[in-house]
Structure 1
């Protein structure tokens, strides 16, 4: 579909859909019913943040099906609340948000729903000689209205680009304690637990899974120029997949940091890893071996440069990695980049690297980023992930700006060929305008494309209009 044809179809849809005036009216009542709250600009103490965002989206193929089932119209009213309490030693934060959604989707008779509830609770204590951190999180998502490209995690996994129906729930817990920060010897423990559940899904790649990792460590100040850390780590993975996979990974390793001179740091690591996996076939897989690496980083007149070599063990066997990196400041921005290669047990050698570039213009900026990595997914498969993005920002005047962006995400097999290669580029054009000092408006166009091996390709076009604001109370 061409852009012009897509716009004409949206105009026809707006004319035919009589529920849209009601949607706009309901949104207007919600938005105009809020009044700004006044507060003091006192740093620290108690901070309350309230937010509301009302977004109208019209998409001609929301699920990116090879054959579009029809146009989807969504009005998402997102309400958020954050409480932050700070003292010289402690920080407490509570985050709540949810979406009240009016929808007109093909094949769906439910036009109103409360979706995407999120709860975040965190506490941090930074004492003179100890540190405590606790994070709790919960989120529930209706996959019928979830857009994987908007919800990508920092670390891409095998399931990151899957589009499906049903619902997902995610529970996260992180506890961390460290003592002896200023002593020659210190001790600590990190506990991370993740529980993800799915219901009414179709894709076999979406199954319940639980991951728990415990790290116990001791830190040593060996001399004014050398420090070390001894760590024992255990990671347990349980999945409700076809084979009822259970995997335990145990690692013991010692890290050493040594300051060769005022501008050069040497890092090294040596250890041992054992991976044991069982399933209901029944079968038992055990992979073990030495792990370690060495790195050298040097501070230069402009930025830094370094080189790293490492070897690791996962369920799929040994992986060897080498990379070089460089970071520097430019007259109009900054640049940091790395380039390397990974060689896996399957015999494949893949290029890896990263890029972060910023160029400041007289009335705008250009930013570019790239991250290409090879890792073992939670399902135990070697995957190659690529994420790239370019953004051009042009400031029009004191009230408005224009952003043109391109994003690209790819997940591909890097092992024995058990992962479907999936590519998903996206083009964004957004106009932003400050309606008042408190209210902001953004509108624009998004084009998405998806190509998965064995599934064919699809694309979609979307126009959107968003009005939002946040206001803060400080005490």
Structure 2
């Protein structure tokens, strides 16, 4: 067994949480002062024939001034089945962030932790990071980032970015679910040649370690950048550098890929939205990838539209389109949204897959005190290598909420999911719940 390398972050880890209410932790607030939110919920749930009760608790502390911002949010649930099983913690979650900026410098740091089911579909997931796995068990995610900017108001500046992330699995049966941790560091220098032209140097390094027999990957790059403001509305960017990727798989010799990398991009600001595009070539775990992309955003009278199309080659050298689309519309008494994203990713063994995420959300106020919310989520993982098992999950959600006295809400809902592996039968799961929830805010 290969010994794993461990990277530590300073700071403590508190119990963390389950976001049980519709109030976002980072709700907009006036400048100055400390705002506190307390959340409580009690739910009775029947899922696949099992009756349980869940008590949810959460707290958020946030503060924002002209130069500083602070956020601490923790949520967790305690679940008890009526079959006499032990009390269990349910979906803990923690968010901690701090930022401070001045005219000449800026500092930002954040840390997050969350635990969820392995096959849970979360809007926070990055579809370019990992693949969908349909398995029992729990997934714990840790991440930390530190960013420092210097010389923001000077013709010469520097930026340092440090990052850490980790994924650990428990109570799973799929041997392909391997724990992994990653570190990355980027140093960038900026030289303003005149008000429209800026040059720079950038060097980055990343390392991903996976439990044996996973594929470990080291990546390093160095290059130069050039930003040029063509007009007041049109800006361009160019990067030319050198990349090196080393893949280590137990039982096989090291696979080293290296070569030139480049990116050309532009952004045009328009009165009703932006137009942007890029063309480049770089090396990652799956080899050399020459992506091209074009994106357009539109601000409409009743909503916002964003659409994009990209072209990229997979490891089998086939040219594949990558689509993205989102549309949000405000209704007379509600909202409607649809979103589609696609991205290439690799699993713990370095196998390449195309991830697709499609979502539809709808919310309608039935009366001044009640509302109905519906959602559809489809997540699909299509491996480039036909020897790997593709996976797909469809989830349907329906939630009714009614406001009671003293900030209490009555909430009830139904959820149904369909999980499908290409070589197995479909698995259906249903959940019905009803409960009470309360949220209270104070400003100091």
* Larger-gyration structure (1/2): 1
The offset of 1:275, in angstroms, is: 0.5
Partner of 1:412: 382
TM-score for the superposition, normalised by structure 1: 0.81
Partner of 1:236: 207
Asked if structure 2 preserves the Cα contact closer than 8 Å seen for 1:217 and 1:229, the reply is yes
SS of 2:290 mapped into structure 1: strand
Partner of 1:76: 54
Partner of 1:97: 75
Relative to structure 1, the CA distance from residue 463 to residue 303 in structure 2 (aligned partners, 3 Å threshold; closer, same or farther) is: same
Relative to structure 1, the CA distance from residue 283 to residue 352 in structure 2 (aligned partners, 3 Å threshold; closer, same or farther) is: same
Asked if structure 1 preserves the Cα contact closer than 8 Å seen for 2:234 and 2:268, the reply is yes
Is structure 2 residue 92 aligned with structure 1 residue 114? no
Partner of 1:50: 38
How far apart, CA to CA, are the structure 2 residues paired with 1:171 and 1:79? Answer: 21
Asked if structure 1 preserves the Cα contact closer than 8 Å seen for 2:127 and 2:356, the reply is no
Partner of 2:101: 126
Indicate which of 214, 217, 226 corresponds to 1:247: 217
- Summarize deviations over 1:298-326 as a string: whole Å, max 9, x none: 23343232332121211221112222222
Asked if structure 2 preserves the Cα contact closer than 8 Å seen for 1:148 and 1:161, the reply is no
- Summarize deviations over 1:218-271 as a string: whole Å, max 9, x none: 12222211223321111011111325x332100113333221112222222222
Partner of 2:12: none
Asked if structure 2 preserves the Cα contact closer than 8 Å seen for 1:158 and 1:379, the reply is no
SS of 2:175 mapped into structure 1: coil
Is structure 2 residue 402 aligned with structure 1 residue 433? yes
Indicate which of 436, 448, 451 corresponds to 2:417: 448
Indicate which of 315, 324, 343 corresponds to 2:313: 343
The offset of 1:86, in angstroms, is: 4.1
- Summarize deviations over 1:115-141 as a string: whole Å, max 9, x none: 443333322121221111222333455
SS of 1:396 mapped into structure 2: strand
Indicate which of 87, 103, 111 corresponds to 1:136: 111
The offset of 1:75, in angstroms, is: 2.0
Is structure 2 residue 116 aligned with structure 1 residue 164? no
How far apart, CA to CA, are the structure 2 residues paired with 1:199 and 1:334? Answer: 41
Give unpaired runs (5+ residues) of structure 1. Answer: 1-40, 61-70
SS of 2:426 mapped into structure 1: strand
The offset of 1:49, in angstroms, is: 1.7
The offset of 1:186, in angstroms, is: 0.8
Indicate which of 434, 438, 442 corresponds to 1:465: 434
The offset of 1:201, in angstroms, is: 2.7
Partner of 1:352: 322
The offset of 1:440, in angstroms, is: 2.1
Asked if structure 1 preserves the Cα contact closer than 8 Å seen for 2:136 and 2:171, the reply is no
Report which of the two has the higher share of helix. 1
Asked if structure 2 preserves the Cα contact closer than 8 Å seen for 1:80 and 1:96, the reply is yes
Relative to structure 1, the CA distance from residue 446 to residue 138 in structure 2 (aligned partners, 3 Å threshold; closer, same or farther) is: closer
Partner of 1:11: none
Partner of 1:210: 181
Is structure 2 residue 147 aligned with structure 1 residue 180? no
Partner of 2:5: none
Relative to structure 1, the CA distance from residue 440 to residue 226 in structure 2 (aligned partners, 3 Å threshold; closer, same or farther) is: farther
Comparing 277-286 and 80-89, the one that deviates more: 80-89
Partner of 2:26: none
SS of 1:436 mapped into structure 2: coil
How far apart, CA to CA, are the structure 2 residues paired with 1:274 and 1:433? Answer: 57
Length, aligned pairs only? 416
TM-score for the superposition, normalised by structure 2: 0.86
Matches within 5 A, 1:350-389: 350-377=320-347, 379-389=349-359
Give unpaired runs (5+ residues) of structure 2. Answer: 1-28
Partner of 1:260: 230
Asked if structure 2 preserves the Cα contact closer than 8 Å seen for 1:152 and 1:160, the reply is no
